């Protein structure tokens, strides 16, 4: 049979296996290699909460989806062109994500009676049982081939079997015409110091996988996704949202000249930010792994009081625990960034699955009248700017800020055109000056007449000794339960947050600037909604699309933009929390909702149907 | 360096504790001690920060003319930790009650001790919830009758000293609110101790638990019921120091010198600097009527302190790092060019 290389614009591959099979690594390597090759890409790790769930069961399946394209890619893709299933459970859990013409690669060795039973198959033909027998099936004895490949390596059988993911990666590299050089370099870098002995076996098994694929009859054609060259020129790197968040905070620390302090308690899926910051002591970052979520935010509040750029990172349940302390940061008017990498709730919910269900908690979840700015990141790389901007708002406006990220963008990755710090605006910290003293005393809650921002005097500063605290104060900083003073302070704190709208970018619209429908989103659904709107607009119907990075306060032009459309369709991964917020802010708008609460990102296809439905 | 006096540490705020409350005396001791501490550390007033949680005693920062932070219930220790880690050059003092530190804030309290953060924790122990008007606290004695235990409590109290030593505390002292001179001595030593210094002040609540520590504070009784420990000195107490403590069969025993064959040579010498905590544990645990209650600096040992280690690690990593700016960080690792 003649072997053909078919050029294609994009391809989606889903690697799935037992949670100990190394699928996250396999997927990341394939992604990184494609990024360096010049492709656009987006990734989506989809893994269970258990570190090693019962072997061979559906609950223990770990998946990693990679979408690579000639140009920019906005989502990890709804359905896959190729599914790699390392065991029957992985096939059981993921067959539904295969396109009609998908290729399915399985490790035949894992499809024994026991494996089939554990996965819950009731017949002896898993493909027919799942109605995917008409896809291109590549059934390879991957475990046996890996054992054969490494039989002379001197490694024990357990270690050899662990290399089967590299055999699989080798096969995928052949099928998608990826050079192995990048992975060789990765192995060299990762192991040359500590475990040089594993480099040669891994290289061998990788190239044996590659060669095996080239000899398999079933692989008639291979695919090439050549970079189109329409990516913006510059230096790129691949980055996850959590890493970008950590780096954005470091950037704000550098720009403001304040040391970065992070007090956090580990929680999925936010832990990566604390881990990343813990590495960067070289840039002055101090991290405290606190005894609990409350101590995480309280150490941060202490550090903020002492003059640092203070941060605490968490996920939904942790934000609940921080509520009271957030109120303290609001009333003491101290700068603080709280990053919430949202996950499926309520309670422990589904820790490793993504959602946008903490918005209401972020906006309202505190006692008393307790407004604070809420901002959101819209993609893995955007987390850098979002974190930088959240820190800038916190410092310049003397307020805690909640930055909403999501498991999907926190763990997902995409190529990022590396910016230069000189292109970022300065962060001007409102430190108190001698002019702020009245009769030789510092009055901590006197405000700037324009912005209503108070001045910051940090312990160690002579002549500015003062007290702050959770009890209501007057402008001088003395405790006051005077009714009029309380009303005034509540009003000033509210207006201070509202005035931040003067300092954030205007809302932009993609597609139709007026008409029947404006599609609205916020946070990590950006790529999916953008893809859906572009698909709709490529036909005759035209809709507008506006995505919110700033939630409280809303951009100043929101009302004006909404007024140009008959209807607003808010798409979000919850039951309408942002729609409720918009309705309360802009009661004149006719707001429709499209929500999804399954712990999974949107599919572009379901968004397209929802938009079409709204246009009827 | 200015020469500060106690007046420099008094704020213009009216002190609003009940007349006769033990907190007044502790505030006075602190205001009188900090000028000395200021000289010892070479710190002017702006380097002092007083932090508190919620409760009667937690109003203290408002009465100190220093930087102050009156925070939320139980969390003062976490806030102090953040302040000290962010700026190890500050002298951080914390006021907290038995409910604040040992009930709602128990977790932060033990972890600050475990980490040995260099903060000075003044624990005002009146064995009652005063600000909420008279409920039992985690240090109320078994059987205590309060508004929420009208038939007596059915739970054992914490002994704060045991908790501190159990968490591997490096400094623990105990005193009574009224002992101005001793309190000043303890505060001075706590200020110089590198690590988490816990000072338990047995405090009288005149309204809801009056006389809780009467047998220890009553001039007629205190000589027999308390012993003031000083490093390097014999553990003597009682009228004319006629009694002392000996260690026998794994326990501390109170004896009268000249009786049962005990001489002055049998009496223990207090070693607050001993790393082994066994004797310190026994001392903090002493109860009436068998033994006097131990006051003074019971434990004061050297160890690494958290804030100092954090600072040193940051300096060490920065000194050997290849990346010194965010621009360098962004370009580190795998990158590629799109031309």
**Smallest CA–CA distance from A311 into chain B, residue:** B82
Q: Is the model's pLDDT at A1 over the cut of 60? A: no
Structure confidence by residue, pLDDT tens digits, B167-211 = 999 999 999 999 999 999 999 999 999 999 999 999 999 999 999
How far is Cα A333 from Cα A397, in angstroms, rounded to an integer? 9
Per CB-CB distance under 8 Å, the chain A contacts of B72 are 298, 324-325, 327-328, 470
> What residue in A sits closest to B65 (Cα-Cα)?
A465
pLDDT in tens, B267-304: 999 999 999 999 999 999 999 999 999 999 999 999 99
Whether cis (ω within 30° of 0) applies to the bond prior to A346 is yes
**Does the structure show a pLDDT above 90 at A51?**
no
Distance CA(B326)–CA(A283), nearest Å, equals: 8
Return the closest-CA partner of residue A479 out of B97, B70, B22, B52. B70
Give the pLDDT of residue A2: 62
Q: Could you tell me which of B72, B131, B69, B113 has the C-alpha nearest to residue B94?
A: B69
Quick one: average pLDDT of B123-130?
96
Encode pLDDT of A508-542 as tens digits: 999 999 999 999 999 999 999 999 999 999 987 89
Token pair of B113, please?
């001790």
Of residues A301, A459, A479, nearest to B62 (C-beta): A479
Residues in B closer than 8 angstroms to A304, CB to CB, are: 82, 86
Q: What is the pLDDT of residue A156?
A: 92
How many CB contacts within 8 angstroms connect chain A with chain B?
Answer: 206
Residue A337: per-residue pLDDT: 98
State the pLDDT at residue A217. Answer: 81
CA distance B133 to chain A (A): 19
- Residues of chain A with Cβ-Cβ distance to B327 below 8 Å are 420-421
Is B82 within 8 Å of A305 when comparing Cβ atoms?
yes
Angle at CA of residue A524, ends A422 and A48, nearest 5°: 120
Cα dihedral B54, B55, B61, B63 in deg (nearest 10): 150
Percent of chain A residues past pLDDT 70, beyond the cut: 100
Closest CA to A40 of A15, A12, A62: A12
Give the nearest chain A residue to B92 (CA atoms).
A459
Q: Which of residues 99-128 of B touch A (CB under 8 A)?
A: 107-108, 111
Helix axes A164-175, A23-37, angle to 10 degrees: 30
Confidence at A197, pLDDT banded by 50, 70, 90: confident
Q: Which of A1-10, A445-454, B241-250 has the lowest mean pLDDT?
A: A1-10
Say which of B11, B46, B107 has its CB closest to residue A461. B46
Q: What is the mean pLDDT of chain A?
A: 95
B135, pLDDT greater than 90: yes
- Interface touch A295/B75, C-beta < 8 Å: yes
> For A333-431, where are the alpha helices, taking DSSP H only?
359-364, 382-397, 407-411
Q: Angle formed by the axes of helices A293-305 and B76-86, to 10°?
A: 50
Q: How large is the average pLDDT for residues A550-570?
A: 98
Give A 18-47 residues with CB within 8 A of chain B. Answer: 32, 35-36, 38
Average pLDDT over chain B, rounded to an integer:
96
Q: Is the pLDDT of residue A171 over 90?
A: yes
- The answer to which of A2-6, A154-158, A461-465 has the lowest mean pLDDT is A2-6
Chain A partners within 8 Å of B86 (Cβ): 259, 261, 286, 302-304, 306-308, 310
| Helix pair angle (A293-305, A316-332), 10° resolution | 30
pLDDT score of A418: 97
- In the predicted model, what is the mean pLDDT of residues B157-163? 98
Report the residue of chain A nearest B110, measured CA to CA.
A291
State residue B194's pLDDT score: 97
Split at pLDDT 50, 70, 90, the class of B339 is confident
Find the closest chain A residue to B49 by CA distance. A459
Q: What is the pLDDT of residue B254?
A: 97
**Cβ within 8 Å, pair B326-A250:** yes
Q: Are A525 and A573 in contact (CB under 8 A)?
A: yes
pLDDT tens for each residue of A281-330: 999 999 999 999 999 999 999 999 999 999 999 999 999 999 999 999 99
Is the ipTM, as predicted for this complex, more than 0.95?
Answer: yes
Backbone φ and ψ for B269, nearest 5 degrees, come out as -105, 130
CA-based end-to-end distance of chain B: 61
Residue A459 is nearest to which of B71, B90, B333, comparing CB atoms? B90
pLDDT score recorded for residue B151 = 98
Confidence of residue A191 (pLDDT cuts 50, 70, 90): confident
DSSP B126: -
pLDDT tens digits, A338-364: 999 999 999 999 999 999 999 999 999
A 372-431 near B (Cβ less than 8 A): 417-421
Which of residues B304 and A22 earns the better pLDDT score?
B304
Contact B321 A282 (CB under 8 A): yes
Chain B residue with CA closest to A457: the answer is B67
Contact A254 B326 (CB under 8 A): yes
User: What is the phi/psi pair of residue A415, to 5°?
Assistant: -70, 145
Interface residue of B12, B82, B108 to substitute, partner A, most A CBs within 10 Å? B82
- Provide, as residue numbers in chain A, all residues whose Cβ is less than 8 Å from the Cβ of B106: none
Higher-pLDDT residue of A1 and B42 is B42
Q: Does A467 touch chain B (CB under 8 A)?
A: yes
Return the closest-CA partner of residue A233 out of A417, A457, A53: A417
Instruction: Confirm or reject contact between A461 and chain B (CB < 8 A).
Output: yes
The pLDDT of B137-153, averaged and rounded, is: 97
């Amino acid at each position: 049979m003649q072997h053909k290389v078919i050029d294609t614009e994009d391809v989606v591959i889903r690697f799935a296996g037992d949670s100990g099979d190394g699928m996250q690594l396999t997927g990341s390597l394939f992604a990184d290699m494609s990024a360096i090759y010049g492709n656009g890409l987006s990734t989506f790790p989809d893994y269970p909460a258990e570190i090693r769930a019962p072997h061979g069961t559906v609950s223990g399946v770990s998946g990693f989806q990679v979408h690579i394209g000639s140009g920019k890619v906005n989502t990890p893709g709804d359905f896959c062109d190729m599914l790699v299933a390392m065991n029957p459970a992985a096939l059981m859990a993921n067959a539904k994500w295969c396109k009609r013409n998908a290729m399915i690669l399985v490790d035949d060795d894992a499809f024994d009676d026991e494996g089939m039973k554990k996965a819950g198959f009731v017949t002896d033909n898993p493909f027919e049982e799942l109605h995917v027998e008409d896809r291109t099936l590549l059934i390879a004895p991957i475990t046996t081939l890996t054992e054969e490949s490494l039989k002379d390596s001197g490694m024990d059988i357990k270690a050899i079997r662990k290399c089967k993911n590299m055999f699989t990666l080798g096969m995928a590299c052949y099928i998608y015409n990826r050079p192995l050089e990048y992975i060789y370099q990765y192995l060299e870098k990762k192991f040359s110091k500590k475990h040089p002995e594993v480099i040669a076996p891994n290289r061998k098994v990788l190239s044996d996988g590659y060669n095996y694929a080239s000899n398999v009859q079933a692989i008639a054609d291979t695919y090439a996704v050549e970079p189109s060259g329409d990516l913006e020129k510059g230096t790129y790197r691949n980055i996850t949202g959590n890493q970008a968040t950590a780096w954005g905070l470091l950037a704000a620390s550098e720009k403001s000249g304040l040391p970065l302090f992070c007090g956090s308690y580990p929680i999925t899926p936010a832990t990566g930010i604390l881990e990343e910051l813990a590495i960067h002591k070289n840039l002055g970052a101090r991290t405290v792994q606190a005894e609990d979520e409350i101590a995480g935010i309280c150490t941060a509040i202490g550090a903020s009081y002492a003059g640092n750029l203070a941060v605490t990172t968490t996920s939904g349940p942790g934000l609940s625990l921080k509520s009271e302390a957030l109120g303290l940061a609001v009333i003491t008017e101290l700068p603080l960034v709280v990053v919430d990498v949202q996950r499926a709730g309520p309670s422990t919910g589904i820790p490793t699955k993504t959602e946008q269900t903490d918005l209401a908690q972020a906006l309202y979840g505190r006692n008393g009248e307790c407004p604070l700015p809420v901002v959101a990141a819209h993609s893995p790389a955007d987390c850098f700017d979002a974190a930088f901007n959240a820190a800038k708002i916190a410092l310049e406006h003397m307020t805690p800020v909640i930055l909403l990220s999501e498991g999907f963008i926190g763990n997902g990755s995409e190529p990022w055109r590396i910016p230069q710090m000189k292109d970022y605006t300065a962060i001007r910290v409102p430190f108190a000056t001698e002019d702020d003293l009245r009769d030789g005393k510092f009055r901590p809650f006197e405000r700037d007449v324009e912005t209503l921002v108070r001045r910051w005097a940090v312990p160690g500063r002579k002549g500015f000794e003062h007290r702050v605290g959770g009890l209501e104060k007057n402008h001088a900083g003395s405790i006051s339960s005077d009714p009029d003073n309380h009303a005034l302070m509540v009003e000033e704190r509210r207006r201070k947050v509202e005035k931040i709208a003067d300092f954030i970018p205007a809302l932009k619209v993609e597609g139709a600037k007026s008409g029947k429908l404006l599609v609205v989103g916020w946070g990590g659904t950006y790529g999916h909604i953008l893809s859906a709107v572009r698909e709709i607009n490529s036909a005759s119907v035209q809709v507008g699309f506006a995505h919110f990075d700033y939630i409280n306060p809303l951009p100043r032009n929101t009302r004006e933009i909404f007024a140009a459309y008959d209807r607003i369709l808010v798409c979000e991964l919850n039951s309408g929390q942002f729609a409720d917020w918009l309705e309360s802010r802009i009661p004149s708008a006719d707001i429709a909702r499209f929500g999804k609460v399954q712990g999974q990102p949107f599919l572009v296809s379901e968004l397209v149907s929802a938009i079409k439905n709204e246009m009827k | 360096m200015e020469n500060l006096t106690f007046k420099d540490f008094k704020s213009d705020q009216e002190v609003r504790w009940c007349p006769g409350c033990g907190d007044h005396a502790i505030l006075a001791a602190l205001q009188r001690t900090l000028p000395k501490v200021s000289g010892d550390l070479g710190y002017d007033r702006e380097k002092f920060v007083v932090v508190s949680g919620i409760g009667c005693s937690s109003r203290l920062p408002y009465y100190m003319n220093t930087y102050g932070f009156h925070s939320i219930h139980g969390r003062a220790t976490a806030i102090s930790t953040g302040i000290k880690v962010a700026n190890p050059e500050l002298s951080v003092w914390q006021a907290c009650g038995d409910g604040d530190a040992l009930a709602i804030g128990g977790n932060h309290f033990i972890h600050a001790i475990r980490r040995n953060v260099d903060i000075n924790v003044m624990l005002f122990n009146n064995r009652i919830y005063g600000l909420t008007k008279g409920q039992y606290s985690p240090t109320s004695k078994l059987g205590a009758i309060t508004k929420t235990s009208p038939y007596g409590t059915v739970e054992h109290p914490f002994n704060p000293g045991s908790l501190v030593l159990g968490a591997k505390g490096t400094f623990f002292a105990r005193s009574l609110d009224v002992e101005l001179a001793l309190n000043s001595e303890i505060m001075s030593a706590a200020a110089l101790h590198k690590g988490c210094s816990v000072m338990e002040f047995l405090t009288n609540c005149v309204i809801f638990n009056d006389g809780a520590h009467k047998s220890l504070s009553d001039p007629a009784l205190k000589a027999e019921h308390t012993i003031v420990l000083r490093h390097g000195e014999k553990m003597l107490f009682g009228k004319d120091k006629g009694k002392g403590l000996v260690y026998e069969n794994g326990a501390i025993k109170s004896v009268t010198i000249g009786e049962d064959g005990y001489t002055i040579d049998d009496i223990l010498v207090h070693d607050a600097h001993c790393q082994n905590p066994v004797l310190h544990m026994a001392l903090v645990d002493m109860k009436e009527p068998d033994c006097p209650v131990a006051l003074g600096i019971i434990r004061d040992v050297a160890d690494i302190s958290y804030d100092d280690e954090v600072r040193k690690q940051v300096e060490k990593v920065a000194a050997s790092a290849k990346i010194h700016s965010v621009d360098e960080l962004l370009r580190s690792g795998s990158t590629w060019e799109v031309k």
